[in-house]
Amino acid sequence: MLVHPQFDAVAFHLWKWPIHWYGLMYLAAFGLFLWLGNRVVARPWNAARGWTRRDVDDLLFYGVLGVVLGGRLGYVFFYKPAYYLSHPGEILAVWQGGMSFHGGLLGVLVALALFAWRRGFHFLEVGDVVAPCVPTGLAAGRLGNFINGELWGRAADPGLPWAMVFPQANDGGIPRHPSQIYQFLGEGLLLFIVLWLFARKPRPMAAVSGLFLLGYGVARFTAEYFREPDSFLGLRAFGWSQGQWLSVPMIVGGALMMLWAYRRAARLPAAPAMR
């Protein structure tokens, strides 16, 4: 069986400042967003609605705030509310670890709503532009999880060729699923390919956003069967983890958004929404 390589969390030092792998993954995520976002807004139907590269730069700024604040507050209130209510001074101590994707998503939605209001775009149109650019960032984050040897998987059959021992688990060498890699492949690469191909043609407003919610929800729900639940939470009703329960609204909401988008498009003339 394989053993986690035990990477040093610090990639290198810049003068006396340690540069962590996870920080580099965030930097890669933001860089990929800019590159992909510029390609998305250059598509004829988006350019015709007034989208520019400046909008992508501004979206990144809004999105970073949403990811960091929402991700941290989501972890605080979704996973450890009792602890942080009794230790309020640690709520913003992001350097201690603890971020939630679902909280980050809510933070980004608030940030996108603010961007849409200030720039005169429809909120759902903004979501359609952003959605295809998100999975590569998720992939980078999961790669960072693997490098750090955190968020490891559940116990696996020792005969599984890619079963891996995570010494950080202090479990006596139990072979586990490398669930970070599963999530890297599922909610990262696979979801990116599906969304990128889907968004290469004009789609009804909210269809791309709906597909993102649906696709991520399904990928995350499935991966959670192989990911070790948080020790302080365990499994909830139906044997589902907290991550699975938080993914259910995404699956339902994404499916309903796509249904609404195509039904709405069938009732409207085939013309792009204008600013």
Burial category of 30 from C-beta neighbours within 10 Å (exposed 0-12, middle 13-18, buried 19 and up): middle
Q: What kind and span of H or E run contains 168? A: none
Residue type, 28: A
The reply, when asked if residue 72 is annotated as ligand binding, is: no
Cα–Cα distances (Å) from 135 to 61, 71, 80, 125, 194, in that order, read 18, 16, 26, 18, 10
Give Cα separations from 275 to 38, 127, 183, 263 (angstroms). 19, 15, 37, 22
Q: What is the dihedral of CA 242, 246, 251, 257, to 10 degrees?
A: 180
CA angle 189, 52, 255 (to 5 degrees): 45
Task: Please count the other Cβ atoms lying within 10 Å of the Cβ belonging to residue 117.
Answer: 11
**C-alpha torsion 257→210→72→169, nearest 10:** 120
Bridge partners (DSSP) of residue 264 are none
Phi, psi angle pair for 155, to nearest 5°: -60, 140
Cα 90 off chain centre by: 24
Q: Please report, in range form, the residues annotated as the binding site.
A: 142
